[in-house]
Chain A
């Protein structure tokens, strides 16, 4: 019996449950945007990321360019590089290059947080366990949400369109309450985004998000530089 693998499965259960309910909303969003159940589940299986997928399906629905798609994913998911770098310092010696190539697929905010919080070095089997159960929740929720979205009453499915955005609020409001820098980043990004949506409407949605986020994050990086310990705890 492979113990680290089963420990990973167990530690991944809360992630899987959280992913299931949120990806249910993503599945419904896909149907509302005119995508098929198969496309929705395929996107969740190959991407395993929430914000990037929401931005991605919006670009698909709007018929955006591939450059826009690639740049949007790059900016939105750039944080995974930081997680990957942090996690790379904590890997067991059994974490060889092939294992790194395989396990990197599952670096998400939550999987990173759980894996990074482990005492001692991280073994590949442990990370595979966390990833497997989390991905099951994410893809299963998406497929079910997309399938239900086709049969649910219009009123219910449209009300669920707000679900993912509510989850985003739950991610950025609490840190913004505690940290002036994050509060400023959130406010400036929101103001830029509103400006793009009302005045500068010739800029497409994906680029509007990228520019808003970069301007805001760069400004805050200059005004409120993050100390080393703070960054490690984030």
Chain B
């Protein structure tokens, strides 16, 4: 299948998710369950996407583990996104030279 078709579907769905409520919605979400579900979904999605994919993200488990460990510590300390992302990559690169 052509990549353009995938991109069209991907962009179309993403746009409608934003545009439909932004254009039409004028009330608040009142259902506590639905509100809570929307609150937890971003974190659950990011976690499911990251684990276990991060452990093979460099193509090598050892360098991936080195990057993950450094990123995890910095993320736990609340460092900015860019710092965590760059330090994780740098740690994976460094580990690659050492192995």
* Cβ-closest chain B residue relative to A159: B93
Q: Which residues of B contact A1 (CB under 8 A)?
A: none
Proximity string of chain A (108-152) to chain B, C-beta cutoff 8 Å, 1 when within and 0 when not = 010000000000000000000000000000000000000000000
Chain B 23-57 residues near chain A, CB threshold 8 A = 23, 25-26, 28-29, 32-54, 57
Chain A residues whose C-beta falls within 8 Å of the C-beta of B85 in the assembled complex:
21-22, 25, 163-164, 166-167, 170
A198 (CB) vs chain B CBs: closest residue: B52
Closest to A184 in B: B40
- In the complex, the answer to whether B22 meets A226 with C-beta atoms within 8 Å is no
Asked if A167 contacts B23 (CB within 8 A), the reply is no
Contact indicator B7/A39 (Cβ below 8 Å): yes
Contact partner, A47, options B11, B41, B97, Cβ 8 Å? B11
- Note all chain A residues with C-beta closer than 8 A to B6: 56, 59-60, 66, 69
B76 touches A103 (CB 8 A): no
- A204 contacts the other chain (CB 8 A): no
**Is A13 an interface residue, CB under 8 A from the partner?**
no
The range of chain A's interface size is 35 or more
Whether A100 and B22, one on each chain, are in contact in the complex, defined by CB atoms closer than 8 angstroms, is yes
Q: Are B3 and A60 in contact, CB atoms less than 8 angstroms apart? A: yes
Q: A21: which of B9, B19, B71, B82 is its contact (CB, 8 Å)?
A: B82
Chain A residues lying within 8 Å of B5, measured Cβ to Cβ, are 66
**Of B26, B33, B49, B88, the contact of A51 (CB 8 Å cutoff):** B49
Chain B residues near A55: list those with CB within 8 A.
49
**8 A Cβ contacts from A160-189 to B:** 160-177, 181-182, 185-189
Contact call B17/A73, Cβ cutoff below 8 A: yes
CB-based contact A231/B39 at 8 Å: yes
CB B64 to nearest CB in A, in angstroms, measures: 6
Shortest beta-carbon distance from A217 to chain B in Å: 4
Say whether A193 contacts B47, CB under 8 Å: yes
Contact (A169, B33) CB under 8 Å given A81-B21, A160-B89, A213-B41: no
Known: A55-B49, A105-B15, A224-B36. A39 touches B54 (CB 8 A): no
A56 and B10 within 8 A (CB): yes
Whether the pair B93, A18 counts as a contact (CB closer than 8 A) is no
A233 to B7, CA, bound (A): 33
Can you pick out 16 interface pairs between chain A and chain B where the beta carbons lie within 8 Å of each other? A35-B3, A51-B49, A52-B10, A60-B6, A85-B25, A88-B22, A160-B89, A162-B68, A170-B80, A172-B47, A172-B50, A182-B40, A189-B43, A197-B52, A209-B48, A226-B40
Residues on B close to A: CB < 8 A? 1, 3, 5-7, 9-11, 13-15, 17-23, 25-26, 28-29, 32-54, 57-60, 63-64, 67-68, 71-72, 74-76, 78-90, 92-93, 96-97
Q: Which A residues are closer than 8 A to B by beta carbons? A: 17-18, 21-22, 25, 35, 39, 42-43, 46-49, 51-56, 59-60, 63, 66, 69-70, 73-82, 84-85, 87-89, 97, 100-101, 103-105, 107, 109, 155-156, 158-177, 181-182, 185-190, 192-194, 197, 208-209, 212-214, 216-218, 220-222, 224-226, 228, 230-231, 234
